[in-house]
Structure 1
Amino acid sequence: MSSRRGRVDLVRLRSELPAGLAAVLDQYERHLALERGHSPHTVRAYVGDVVALLGHLAADGPPARGDHALGALDLAALRSWLADQHAAGAGRTTLARRAASARTFTAWAARAGHLAADPGPRLAAPRPHRKLPAVLHREQADAAMEAAQSGAAEGDPVALRDQAVVELLYATGVRVSELCGLDIDDVDYSRRLVRVLGKGSRERAVPFGQPAERAVRRWLSEGRPALVTAGSLAALFLGARGGRLDPRMARRIVHDTVGAVPDAADMGPHGLRHSAATHLLEGGADLRTVQELLGHATLATTQLYTHVTVERLKAIHDRTHPRS
């Protein structure tokens, strides 16, 4: 099923939910957006999983009404839903994500009084496969930055923006949504820090180096004035029509820049984020520091990058050691 077809099916399924379940879902969506401060993309993902769960619940039980709308949502119902997902071809990673979404929902529903007890903690699901992210070698990262600099050499405003985008992404490891949300005043040149609003509306300060500073300063002095409009407001990075840079365009910028490097993996901004974290660890940074720089809520997420560096060390050892 295509992602577009899947979204259409979820919209239809949501419209067919009984009134009681629909009301609970609306409350949960507001909770995610307003109280938890999740991004629209994250809210859609959580809500989509819960729509599927509630659709399964409605199909298996009597019409849900009022405060007892979730009365049938117990451990057996959660297991039955995951079993149906597995039978439909969902893989381990998908099942693990949907189980996590269900646990988040049931925890909220219990706190909100929609469930007498939370069945989520007893729900087991297969552990997802941890796929190691593709990263650039240091030489490839240097080559990508040089390609962006070469493109900006003649002073074209869009090329100047593109260079500043890739330099700042690689220098800081920020998420693409965080980069596109930056305003001009979020950059502190005296201390070379950028103030970022991350997931859950958590703010952090991330340092950057001289190459990124030079690229951003040149974009602001020579490139941005050529694209700015009345609707640009304080946005740091602009699209060709003067609006705030869209994350999709930022992905295209990174894709094209890295694509100019021979043998480099195909990647977008998240690949540069992975590369920045890996290079920091390879350079001697500790996990806690990298966790803070990347804005990870838990150290377990950051630990993925230690596997990347170990795998690269093993590859080098196998290729170079005479008795490997």
Structure 2
Amino acid sequence: MQDLPEEFATALAAYERHLVAERDLTPHTVRAYLGDLSGMLTHAAALGCTRLDDLDIRTLRSWLANQQTLGKARTTMARRATAVRVFTAWALRTGRATADAGAQLGSPKAHKPLPPALDVTQARALLDAAASQADDGSPVGLRDVAILELLYATGARVGEVCTLDIDDVDRSRRVVRVFGKGRKERTVPYGLPADQALGRWLAEARPVLFVPGSGAALFLGARGGRIDQRAVRSMVHRRLEDVPGAPDLGPHGLRHTAATHLLEGGADLRTVQEMLGHASLATTQIYTHVTTDRLRKAYHLAHPRA
């Protein structure tokens, strides 16, 4: 930010405070937004812009076109265009600009590949193999089973599971309180297998790993601190090696798997959207491909001209 014109640097610093204090975004998301905006403002400065009111749609489109010539992926360009639109709208709203330069900035339509997922047999094999290996009562093994069961049962993000506290789980109703992106709270149900795995972890294993600094964290690492996302990712990859033919997925793959199996089982999109914590139904609709086979079978059974 130090190489930017003074007004650009000042606005970017204020926007960072807005993202952290008002929108409560994660440090990773804040860094990504600031990186995108810094690149746009640097491009604008090279074209002679020094004030936010100097930004116009031609400048922004020039910056986006430059991203394309650099070989950036369409998904990256779409994300950066969104970051700029949100920033220019904020600048207008806070009186730092007299017009919203990004309001007309379009986004390249991103290709949405179908997310990989386990089939039902593979998901069952993953959980059965982990449970079998935990039969010796090892604390880490019981913890891994509980995490895997909860990831698959709720479709929660790995970061959401790692930040859970004991009080976030209501075993009497079999629901868990999850804090998603932007600290948005949602309540997600889970089934009996996950509850049984959580019960064993809490009664038999967590007390073994507990140390004075463990606090209220639901899941603990080997040294007693709150478990780290990287440790969970490594665990999921390692456990999937025990499942013949399974794709190499991380925790996010289990989230895709949960959504896929819910829809295949007859759940509606709104229900899945609520469970996953998607702000937009359009995000959830990427999973609708999984219903094709079910719809085709229903069509052949029900339509007189099938």
TM-score scaled to structure 1, two decimals?
Answer: 0.88
1:15 is displaced (CA, Å) by 3.6
Give the whole-Å Cα distance in 2 for the aligned partners of 1:60 and 1:120: 17
Q: Encode CA deviations 1:249-298: one digit per residue, 9 max, x unaligned.
A: 11111111122111111111110000001100110111111111111111
The reply to whether residue 110 of structure 1 matches residue 97 of structure 2 is no
The reply to whether residue 53 of structure 1 matches residue 40 of structure 2 is yes
On the 8 A contact 1:148/1:162 being kept in 2, the answer is yes
The reply to whether residue 208 of structure 1 matches residue 205 of structure 2 is no
Q: Trace 1:94-243 onto structure 2 (pairs within 5 A).
A: 94-243=76-225
2:61 partner SS: helix
1:18 is displaced (CA, Å) by 2.9
1:49 partner SS: helix
On the 8 A contact 2:263/2:290 being kept in 1, the answer is no
Which residue of the other structure, out of 23, 27, 36, is the alignment partner of 1:40?
27
Which residue of the other structure, out of 210, 224, 227, is the alignment partner of 1:245?
227
Cα distance change, pair 226–206 in 1 and its aligned pair in 2 (3 A)? same
Give the whole-Å Cα distance in 1 for the aligned partners of 2:182 and 2:283: 16
1:19 is displaced (CA, Å) by 2.8
Q: Number of residue pairs matched?
A: 298
1:173 is displaced (CA, Å) by 0.4
Per the alignment, residue 321 of structure 1 pairs with: none
Which residue of the other structure, out of 263, 272, 275, is the alignment partner of 2:254?
272
Backbone CA RMSD of aligned residues: 1.8
1:312 is displaced (CA, Å) by 8.9
The reply to whether residue 16 of structure 1 matches residue 19 of structure 2 is no
Write out the 4+ residue segments of structure 1 that deviate beyond 3 Å after TM superposition: 311-314
On the 8 A contact 2:264/2:290 being kept in 1, the answer is no
Give the whole-Å Cα distance in 1 for the aligned partners of 2:149 and 2:47: 53
Give the whole-Å Cα distance in 1 for the aligned partners of 2:22 and 2:294: 41
1:152 is displaced (CA, Å) by 0.9
1:45 is displaced (CA, Å) by 1.4
Per the alignment, residue 289 of structure 2 pairs with: 307
TM-score scaled to structure 2, two decimals?
Answer: 0.93
1:243 partner SS: coil
Give the whole-Å Cα distance in 2 for the aligned partners of 1:174 and 1:144: 17
Cα distance change, pair 19–151 in 1 and its aligned pair in 2 (3 A)? farther
1:17 is displaced (CA, Å) by 2.2
Per the alignment, residue 61 of structure 2 pairs with: 79
Give the whole-Å Cα distance in 2 for the aligned partners of 1:88 and 1:177: 32
Q: Encode CA deviations 1:109-153: one digit per residue, 9 max, x unaligned.
A: 111112211122211232000111000000000000011101211
